[in-house]
Amino acid sequence: MPKRSPKRRNSGEPPSAKARAVDLLSRREHGAEEMTRKLAARGLDAAEVRQAVAELSEAGWQSDERYAQAVIRQRAAQGYGPRRVRFELSQAGVAEAAVEAAMAAEAVDWLEVARDWASRRLAATADAREQAKQWRRLAGRGFEEAEVRAVMREGPGSAAD
């Protein structure tokens, strides 16, 4: 069956910035800065875009905290640590207060995330060079030193309960 394009009310008129923003939000959560950037890239008027994003934020349709929570859940499921998540959210323009509120609301057990990732990806080894390499891999995924230390002490290939 061929795909049909959605019908527009005013077929000759392009959708407004607000309509496009709602369309973006219907797919997934977006941060305010990310949404502004995407809409501006589509050639929409910058003032209209800022107003549309502000209206959606005031109405509760767009929330940087909800966006941060979604990113935290997604990245934790992918095996990334809290430092990586915080960095990614700061790069996306989410305020530090919203990031910290979302981190507290999600209450992810980052040590468990690190253990899970290490048990799937790293092999138990006694070789000092390989252990250093594994340490760097865990640290590079954004885990804190205490989490990396705990995983390495338990042995990355073992499942600690």
Angle, helices 110-121/145-154, rounded to nearest 10 degrees: 50
Which domain CATH number covers 122?
1.10.10
pLDDT at 45 over 80: yes
Q: Write out pLDDT tens, residues 9-42.
A: 555 677 888 899 999 999 999 999 999 999 999 8
- Residue span of the structural domain in which 30 resides: 15-62
User: Which of 5, 27, 62 delimits the end of a domain?
Assistant: 62
d(C-alpha 125, C-alpha 131), whole Å: 7
Which domain CATH number covers 47?
1.10.10.10
Closest by CA to 134, choosing from 149, 112, 113, is 149
Q: φ, ψ for residue 15 (rounded to 5)? A: -65, 150
d(C-alpha 66, C-alpha 109), whole Å: 19
- In this structure, is residue 6 part of a structural domain? no
Q: Write out pLDDT tens, residues 108-149.
A: 999 999 999 999 888 887 788 988 999 999 999 999 999 999
- Name the domain count of the chain: 3
Same domain? 19 vs 58: yes
Q: Write out pLDDT tens, residues 63-121.
A: 999 999 999 999 999 999 999 999 999 999 999 999 999 999 998 999 999 999 999 88
pLDDT at 161 over 50: no
- In this structure, is residue 119 part of a structural domain? yes
- In this structure, is residue 129 part of a structural domain? yes
- In this structure, is residue 7 part of a structural domain? no
